[in-house]
Structure 1
Amino acid sequence: MSESNDLLATCSYTEDTGRRLFRAVADLGSVAGWMSFDAGRHSSAQRLFVAAVHAASEGGDRQLGAHILQCMARQMSHLGHVEDALELVALAQYGARRHASPGTRAVLAALQSRFSAMCGELEENRRAARETEDAFTRIVPDDEPPHTRFFDEAELSAALGVAHQIAAKQATGRHRAERAEQSLAMLANALRLRPEGRLRSKTFDHIGLARTHLAVGELAGAYQEATTALTIAEGLHSTRVADRLSELYEETEPHASDSAISDLRDRLEHAVAAAH
């Protein structure tokens, strides 16, 4: 990424070639930033994402710029800065408002739904979930830019399943049960649709199912899903997975007196320690 930026700063090129070069560097930066994020190198990821956003702007690619902003939003949320994450999503939506494909709109709305739930804004969470599903129905895969083609039905189900899972934690009474039911159905559908090799995604799905079961006090279901997630995670090397397992460990604390959950907490603690 550094070498590519040096070339852009020192070489000469036509305006058209320059735009294409900046777009290529922006795409490179988004991939390198995401790899750094997944490895837990957050300062490096932030520098790469910022450089990629500037390159996308120079290249005149608003959709790619929106994609990089949503990557930055995911990182901010992961680090606990949810309001900053929401602002980044809003910035991406505004910047690409005249150019966004249905896939871009669906990805951004799904993140808005998740982050709204994290902020306790459950009506906005529900509205954004509906917007996500509406945009998804208008996707024509061959017309989508390369960076949104990952957002298939499995990703849609997983994204909204997590959004409903977070909402279930925030809701009470019948609303909690309703949101939990939606979350379980969507995450199960995501798992059903995942390609065989998507092990990290499957791990996240099982963790999401475990957290949903915990939200409604279904300890047997939480134990089963968490155990499956741990089994899959044994072959992975991802700081993000370890961080999600750590969050699951914290959420099991109120049930630590249950023998099965106590055993699960020991396994979670060992897995997180091994990952770091």
Structure 2
Amino acid sequence: MGRPPIDRRPNALLAHWHNRTGMSNAALARAVTTKAAELGEQHVTADESSVRRWIKKGETPRAPLSQIICDVISEQLGEHLTLADLGFGPRGVQDAGHPDLPWEASSTIGALAHIIRSEHMLPTTRTTPEARDVHAGPQLLDPLQSWVSAPSSVADTSPADPAPGRIGMSDVENIRAVTTTFRDLDNRHGGALSRKAVIGQLDEAVGMLSGTYTAETGRALFSAVADLGSVAGWMTFDAGRHSSAQRIFVTALHAAAEGGDKAIGAHLLQCMARQMSHLGHYEDALDLVALAQYGARRRLTPAATSMLASLQARFHAILGNLDDSERATDQAQEAFTRIDSADEPQYMAFFDEAELCATLGVAHQIAARKSPTATRGHQAEKSLRLITQALTHRPEHRVRSMAFDHLGLARTHIAVGELDGAYEETRRSLELFGVISSRRVADRLVELHDEAEPFAGGRLGQDLRQLIAAAVQSE
């Protein structure tokens, strides 16, 4: 029922908490077996000798037994303990953030090692309080279902005769022009630098919603505000302010519904899907894409259809659904052949050949990491070809996207153990990272840093991780 750690040291942390319960070895074994049965884990059993091996020989029980032991001891003591508190960390590492640490040398050493490792962990916005406050699952998705059928309630608030101060289509066009300007600034410099400015502009635009206008102008105004909200939310997301970004996206989606604009609503949902994926809520990301596809099914342009399918390909790959990922890739490529840029809205201008290739290239990169060794190289070749093609076609002002592209190439090289290529592409990504302000790029760099850990024992792997660490920590 267990596997001994390499050094076979006694588990002092487990012994400490076991002693605190006052239970004998036999009593703990009985409680664990009973708890396992309650959870439907009939095959999981323990006896007195099992408990001795866990404590005296430092054997780490396999899942789910380790968690069941943790649950039993936590319930017995009336406080929440983690696997790490019981010394069931990776490779037998005993890290303890709990203040009730045993007064014992090996536990002290293990706890100090854990603290030092924690202090050296690179910063990431995925673990901030803002990220933890983001709504997910049914809490997020259930309220958004109403977007599909929500009617516009915009009424004609204008007097019969034109009056001074009445909002007209020229005001709407001004908002759209400002939105285009901020979208360009975001692409060139990242979201953090202009985030407060775009939110200030959004505040001005929202103030206009309380003015007087015809019903037609009102719907166009709500639509324009929704689009400006998509940029404000995106910049806020890029700056790592996740719960704030989500609030902006959701309220902008309501504005899109008031404007009767299903297309901009779908655009907002794909922004939210990307955020959910960034934060590790991959099922939610897929559900948001599906909601966008269904809710705007009669309003989706070929570019929007292709974009949503390409995101599906990426999210399915992350979840290990490689066949579904391939099908979505085919759908994205087919829809892309039908695009006529003259018929696409301005906010879809970003989804060009470069963006399609980059998104699908990342999907193949993820598939390479998920694939058996025999097919990993084939997936990596597709990824390298597509992302390189993306870089070839990127407009110069898409600086952040180019940083992501080089980072994508680096991660593909890492997936197949090509450290020279990974180092060179990381260096190029960091050159661009130095001229933008984007916490999203920083978070992806941290992912690459973690993916390079298996190679940290070699000079090039160590250099790569140090290169990333220096850049991210200086942010």
Q: TM-score range by the shorter chain?
A: over 0.9
The answer for the alignment partner of 1:269 in structure 2 is 469
List aligned pairs for 1:43-82, cutoff 5 A.
Answer: 43-82=243-282
Per the TM alignment, residue 7 of structure 1 is displaced from its structure 2 partner at its CA by 3.6
Match of 2:374 among 174, 197, 202: 174
Q: Tell whether 2:409 aligns with 1:209.
A: yes
1:188 aligns to 2:388 (yes or no):
yes
Q: Which moved more, 1:223-232 or 1:251-260?
A: 223-232
The match for 1:12 among 206, 209, 212 is 212
The residue that corresponds to 2:443 in the other structure is 243
* TM-score, structure 2 as length reference: 0.57
The number of aligned residues is 274
**Larger radius of gyration, structure 1 or 2?**
2
1:79 Cα deviation (Å)? 1.0
Q: d(CA) in 1 for partners of 2:286 and 2:225?
A: 26
Cα deviation, residue 236, structure 1: 1.8
C-alpha displacement at 1:14, in angstroms? 2.1
Shift of 1:88: 0.4
Q: Deviations over 1:213-242 (max 9, x none)?
A: 111111111111112112221222111111
Per-residue deviation, 1:174: 2.9
> 5 Å matches for 1:1-276?
1-8=202-209, 10-275=210-475
Q: Map Cα deviations across residues 169-202 of structure 1 (whole Å, 9 max, x no partner).
A: 1111332111111000001111111123322111
1:242 is aligned with what amino acid? A
What amino acid does structure 2 have at the position aligned with 1:15?
Answer: A
Structure 1 residue 127, shift from structure 2 partner:
0.5
Deviation at 1:4, TM superposition (A): 3.2
TM-score (normalised: structure 1): 0.96
- Aligned to 1:98, what secondary structure does the other structure show? coil
Question: For the residues of structure 2 that align with 1:28 and 1:236, how far apart are their CA atoms?
Answer: 21
Aligned-pair identity in percent equals: 58
User: Hey, which bits of structure 1, 4+ residues long, moved more than 6 A?
Assistant: none
* One-letter amino acid of the structure 2 residue matched with residue 161 of structure 1: G
Instruction: Give 3-state SS (helix, strand or coil) of 2:260's partner.
Output: coil
Classify the secondary structure of the residue corresponding to 1:60.
coil
The RMSD of aligned alpha carbons is 1.2
CA deviations 1:217-268 (Å, max 9, x no partner) are: 1111111111211222122211111111111101000110110110111111
1:80-136 Cα shifts (integer Å, max 9, x gaps)? 111111110000000111111000001100110000111110001110011000000
CA–CA distance in structure 2, aligned partners of residues 128 and 185 of structure 1: 19
Give the match's secondary structure for 1:161.
Answer: helix
Give the counterpart letter for 1:89 in structure 2.
Answer: V
- 1:48-103, Cα deviation, whole Å (9 max, x unpaired): 10111011111111111000100011111111111111110000000111111000
CA distance in 2, matches of 1:50, 1:76: 13
Which 5+ residue runs of structure 2 have no aligned equivalent? Answer: 1-201
Report the alpha carbon displacement of residue 3 of structure 1 after superposing the two structures with TM: 4.2
**Whole-angstrom distance in 2 between the partners of 1:241 and 1:195:** 18
Task: Supply the distance in 2 between the matched residues of 1:54 and 1:198 (Cα, whole angstroms).
Answer: 29
Moved more, 135-144 or 197-206: 197-206
Structure 1: gaps of 5 or more residues = none
Distance 2:216 2:401 in 1: 38
Q: State the AA in 1 paired with 2:308.
A: L
